[in-house]
Chains A and B, each alone.
Chain A
Amino acid sequence: MTATDSDRRTPAAGRRPQAGIRLGRAQRTGQALRFVALLLGAVVFLVPFYLLVRNGLSTNADITAPTWRLLPTQVQWGNVGELFADPAVPMLRSLVNSLLVSVVQTTGTIVLSGLAGYGLARIPVRYAGVVSGLIVATLLIPAAVTFVPTFVVVSSLGWVSSLRGLIVPGLFQALATFLFRQYFLNFPRELEDAGRVDGLNYWGVFWRIVLPNSKGFVAAVATITFIGSWNAFLWPLVIAQDSSSWTVQIALSTFLTSQTINLHELFLAAVFSILPLLLIFIGLQRFIVQGVESTGINR
């Protein structure tokens, strides 16, 4: 009872929507139940990550042992060297390819979609609405459905099994352009006007004023683009037919679907394939969450 009264008056109570309504024993039990359920769920959600690391640092015999062990009998750090020295798995090459593709696609998307989004939002020409409509219309056609015709175009350009073929078609992201347009529509005009008074044209205003003041949004779009690009599978599978152009996802998949599998190498390769994204996640989590929240569906 007293707990109820005091809780109602703390300013923190406002943060929880139902805090002011009833905080008795039932509420406390609810809290405890929620906490335990979430904790159990969290453990389940982390199991796959644990399996990845455990198997990657075990011997094959440990992985396939009939009795379950929580940890490897002995941690095999040597697996790391073995993985990168294995001539059958072009691991380093694939990681470098993935990094090149993702970095170029992310940078390209920011520049191309940023410019286009700004133009659509801020340069008053009569047909800007029509152009926006045509761009948004492509969002209704799922990207994966166009993989056959896009492959036809790219192969007639002679770009199969090349970095160009992997990178260029992914540079034109209608969703990113649409998001940038929505964002720039709400950009404070006063800042731009200040730049115009100083004699800057559209180009100058965009690069010197608008972009530097949009770091948070740019970071959000960049992280989401990077994740999508790094994890892309269907397009690289279609285009990277030669092992020198494999991305890390294709390298993993090839060994996953092949007959002889060196289990610990495969798991370790998977660990290395998610490390860059995990680092980004830990460093930029705030931006990612913001970015996901701003994916255009919040009114």
Chain B
Amino acid sequence: MSAPTRSRPVAQRPPLWRRLAGDQNRNLWFWAFVGPFVAGLTVFVYIPILWSVYLSFFDARNTVTPTDFVGFGNYRDMLTDPAFLSSMGTFIVFAAFIVPLTFAASLGLALMIHRVRRFKAFFRSVYFLPTACSYVVAALIWKLSIFNGVRFGLVNTVLSWFGIEPIAWLSVTQPPWYWLVLVTLRLWLQVGFYMILFLAGLQRIPTVLYEAAAVDGAAPGWQTFRYVTFPQLRTTSVAVLVLLLINAFQAFDEFYNLLANAGAAGSGGAYPPYARPPLVYLYYVALGSQQDFGHGSAGAVLLALVIALFTVLQGRLLRFGRNE
């Protein structure tokens, strides 16, 4: 009597392992493919992030298993630390320079290369080539050869032809010539990469649009650019701006290599306080002689929040993800 009622669910529901494996073992296959990656991501990304948030609430000097809970103490310290705040300020100045400059330069180059008739491939290659260089190599050339503070540096040599005295590019703060060094270096390294993105965008614009614009009486040049080319590049432009901003926030390599001095690894003392972006500061806090993971983590969390804020703001401004 009771047998049918009991056997019905059994017939519908296969044994546990079969249910876990899914239809045609789909769950098993899925995790065989995705599992290794997700496991690694968990160990090296998710756990570190959670651990970092945990550490940021503790006094964690020289230890990663702290017991001294300080609540928001580390955050308060970082937010009232003039060095951390000035590093944030440095970043904002840096981003304000580098984002629009790189955007304009790479777009301009792409437009020129797109419309030049001869040696297109050659020009594209030359401007893209610096992408192969690391920031370390670029910093080496900029610091020791181009913007060297003594007479044999390239720029000072050229200036001397006009009777101008050599300038100590990296140590003069009035006027802040080091910005010229930092900005030109990053332009040289990055412009080619974004130029390729714009070139790809330009190639996708249908020729018909230009013909229609011509029929409507738009003059070639500025008007065509303003009403046809630029609007058509919107997706690319938004992506480039977002990438540029994120990259600017991650600035570390060239600042460190241009400005850190002898024996600086591990000690914050030899790095001049001006032109110090957040990551450089956090590097010294967390991995300097103090090994202060508590304050370092709190700073990293704050930096992540600021980046998120900027990204959202920029997204709003650019109406990211919204269709025309």
Within 8 A of A (CB), among B116-174: 116-119, 122-146, 150-152, 154, 157
- Measured CB to CB, the nearest residue on chain B to A285 is B125
A237 to B135, CA, bound (A): 13
Contact status A119-B29, CB under 8 Å = yes
Inter-chain contact B137/A18, CB cutoff 8 Å: no
* Cα of A148 to Cα of B41 in the assembled complex, Å: 16
Q: Which of A37-45, A75-83, A187-195, A214-222 lies at the interface with chain B?
A: A37-45
Tell whether, in the assembled complex, residue B33 and residue A118 are in contact, meaning their CB atoms are under 8 Å apart: yes
Nearest CB on A from B242, distance (A): 9
- Chain B residues closer than 8 Å to A231, beta-carbon distance: 133-136
Tell me if B101 counts as interface (CB < 8 A to partner A): no
Mark interface residues in A114-152 (1 if CB within 8 Å of B CB, else 0): 011011100111001001000100101111111111111
- Which of A52, A234, A297 interacts with B239 by CB under 8 Å? A297
Q: Is the CB of A115 within 8 A of B252?
A: no
- A197 interface residue (CB < 8 Å to B): no
Q: Which of B112, B128, B240, B279 contacts A37 (CB 8 A)?
A: B112
Q: Are A148 and B210 in contact (CB under 8 A)?
A: no
Nearest B residue (CB) for A201: B29
Q: B-side binding surface: helix, strand, loop or mixed? A: helix
A34 sits at the interface (CB 8 A): yes
144-197 of chain A: CB within 8 A of chain B: 144-156, 168-169, 171-172, 174, 177
**Contact among B26, B44, B125, B252 for A144, CB-based, below 8 A:** B252
CB-based contact B116/A263 at 8 Å: no
A267 pairs with B55, CB closer than 8 A: no
A34: chain B residues within 8 A (beta carbon): 112, 115-116
Chain A positions within 8 Å of B142 at CB level? 48
The complex places the Cα of A266 from the Cα of B253 at a distance, in Å, of 17
Contact yes or no, B127 A41, CB < 8 A: yes
- CB pair B51–A141 under 8 Å, yes or no, is no
Interface contact B207-A169, CB-CB below 8 Å: no
Q: Is the CB of A20 within 8 A of B51?
A: no
A35 touches B116 (CB 8 A): yes
Which of A52, A113, A145, A234 gathers most chain B CB within 10 Å?
A: A145
The answer on a CB contact under 8 Å between A153 and B250 is no
- Tell me the nearest residue of chain A to B116, going by C-beta: A34
Q: Give the chain A neighbours of B125 by CB distance below 8 A.
A: 285
Residue A85 interfacial (CB < 8 Å):
no
CB distance from A267 to the nearest CB of B (A): 7
Known interface pairs A45-B127, A151-B286, A257-B260; A281-B132 also in contact (CB < 8 Å): yes
Interface size on A, residues (CB 8 A): 103
Q: Which residues of B sit under 8 angstroms from A31, Cβ to Cβ?
A: 115-117
Cβ-closest chain B residue relative to A141? B304
Smallest Cβ-Cβ distance to B264: which chain A residue: A257
- A261 and B117 CA atoms in complex are apart in Å by 46
B83: interface (CB < 8 Å): no
| A116 & B34 in contact (Cβ 8 Å cutoff) | yes
- Cβ contact within 8 Å between B300 and A256: no
Residues of B with C-beta under 8 A to A55 = 144-145
Beta-carbon nearest neighbor of A155 in chain B: B64
Q: Which residues of B contact A285 (CB under 8 A)?
A: 125, 128
* Other-chain residue from B22, B122, B296 in contact with A125 (beta carbon distance below 8 A): B22
Across the interface, which residues of A come within 8 angstroms of B131, CB to CB? 227
Q: In the assembled complex, which residues on chain B have CB atoms less than 8 Å from the CB atom of A47? A: 146, 154
The reply to whether A148 and B188 contact each other, CB–CB distance below 8 Å, is no
- CB closest chain-B residue, reference A278: B132
CB distance from A112 to the nearest CB of B (A): 5
CB contact between B117 and one of A16, A119, A234, A253 (< 8 Å): that residue: A16
CA–CA, A66 and B271, complex, Å: 29
Q: In the complex, what residues of B have CB within 8 A of residue A234's CB?
A: 252-253, 279, 283
- Evaluate whether A18 and B220 lie within 8 angstroms (CB atoms) in the complex, with A38-B123, A258-B262 already known: yes
For the complex formed, measure the closest distance between the CB of A33 and the CB atoms of chain B, giving whole angstroms.
9
A203:B157 contact, CB within 8 angstroms:
no
* Nearest chain B CB to A287 CB, angstrom units: 13
10 contacts between A and B (CB under 8 A): A38-B116, A66-B151, A125-B26, A150-B48, A154-B44, A201-B29, A233-B136, A263-B144, A273-B136, A277-B133
Give the A-binding residues of B (Cβ under 8 A): 22, 26-27, 29-30, 32-34, 36-38, 40-41, 43-49, 51-52, 55, 64, 109, 112-119, 122-146, 150-152, 154, 157, 188, 192-193, 196-197, 200-201, 204-205, 207, 210-211, 214, 220, 224, 235-236, 239-240, 243, 246, 249-250, 252-253, 256-257, 260-265, 279, 282-283, 286-287, 293, 296-297, 300, 303-304, 307-308, 311
